[in-house]
Structure 1
Amino acid sequence: MEWADSDPLAQTFYPNYFRWFDMGTHKLLEAVGEPYDDLIEKRNIAGLPLVDAQASFRGRCRWTDHIEVESFISSFGTKSFTVSHNIWNEGAIAVEGKEVRIWGLFDPNDDTKLMAGEIPEDFKKLLGER
């Protein structure tokens, strides 16, 4: 965590947690060999847009703290999946969060609109669906 991530009280400015959640999702995709940009091109999708994001604050993080972001897939649906995030500070969970993302496709009738498509089984397996 850096000074620019904090508010005047030297605590993390809350929007940064959501930025770190997004970074965690991108790192998760990279770790399984599907970097976000490659995923879009290779699978011909519009992206993995967020449809819901939540955070529960359990402790505080200050600008001098060394935090760790843990991200994992906690559930899959047919057209959406949930990425859960834990932000650890000194061995304790400071923030729990989640993002619900869809398998984003362009609407075939209007390419300015997105729609949720069915998530391919190989993608689910790659990210750990059992």
Structure 2
Amino acid sequence: MTGKGIPEQDNFCDCGVFVLGYMEAFLQDPDEAYRKLLHKERVDWNINPSNLRNQIRDLIFTLQKEQQEQINREKEAKRVAWREKKGSMAPIQPSRPNTQRASSQGPLVGQPASENSKLVSSPGLPPRSY
């Protein structure tokens, strides 16, 4: 089989559009298109590049919108799962140190001093309130 009778585009700027149009027409009835090509009969390709370009653009935009919606749903599902996980975790309370006072010492570490007292400490000595 030679290149004679193979469809050609009618301009020099729509090569890709024509290839897609030929593929679409061929795949609608491949047996008939193949038979016509083998018998060198005229195949009515009936390709309108402007319409096909618009269809391709619309398809791309539709697929992009669907993909973005899917991405948004996945992000929201992750956000909800994270919130549920965060909410189900009981807050971890820090362990409280022994808060009993020694008779002559000031407040122990971790125990709040009274509002009116000042804590003074020296290195190596327990804090004292005055």
TM bin, normalised by shorter chain, reads under 0.3
More helix by share: 2
Normalised by the size of structure 2, how large is the TM-score?
0.23
Q: Which has the larger radius of gyration?
A: 2
Q: Which has the higher contact order (CA 8 A, sep 6+)?
A: 1
